[in-house]
Amino acid sequence: MHVHNHHHHHHHHHDGEHDADEIFTSWGLETPAKYTREKVEEILHKMSETEEFGQVIRCKGMLPQEGSEKWIHFDMVPEQVDIREGSASYTGKVVVIGADLKEDLIKAAFVG
């Protein structure tokens, strides 16, 4: 299992005003673990509808599906979750982008 962390600073200027910087972080995971569609749905809906994991603005990835040759491919933006079956990849991958991410909770949700 590999976990990746990256920090990005986004500066927003409106009509000459300088607003506070929003700092977005990306968190990544590579894992061979298998998942059920229900487990992935549960995690993504929590990310989409609550701030339990921080202010998640995007989550995407592909994970091996338990009991199937197919993989679970997914995309999430606030209030919209798209989960579908897709072809296999070398290893499962998840990327989460947002502000004030609670990386320990995200990792626990996906890794256990």
Express each pLDDT in 21-60 by its tens digit: 668 999 999 999 999 999 999 999 999 999 999 999 999 9
Q: Is residue 19 within 8 Å of 12, Cβ to Cβ?
A: yes
The helix (run of H) or strand (run of E) holding residue 43 is: helix 37-49
Single pTM value for the model: 0.80
Query: Does the structure show a pLDDT above 80 at 19?
Result: no
User: 42-59 burial string, b = 16+ CB within 10 Å, else e?
Assistant: ebbeebeeeeebbbbbeb
**Of 27, 24, 15, 34, which Cα lies nearest the Cα of 105?**
27
**Which residues sit opposite 100 in a β-bridge?**
none
**Of 105, 42, 108, 99, which Cα lies nearest the Cα of 76?**
42
Q: Which domains does the chain have, with CATH numbers?
A: 25-111 (3.30.1220.10)
What pLDDT is recorded for position 9? 47
Sheet hosting strand 92-99, strand order edge to edge: 2-10, 22-31, 92-99, 55-64, 71-77, 80-86
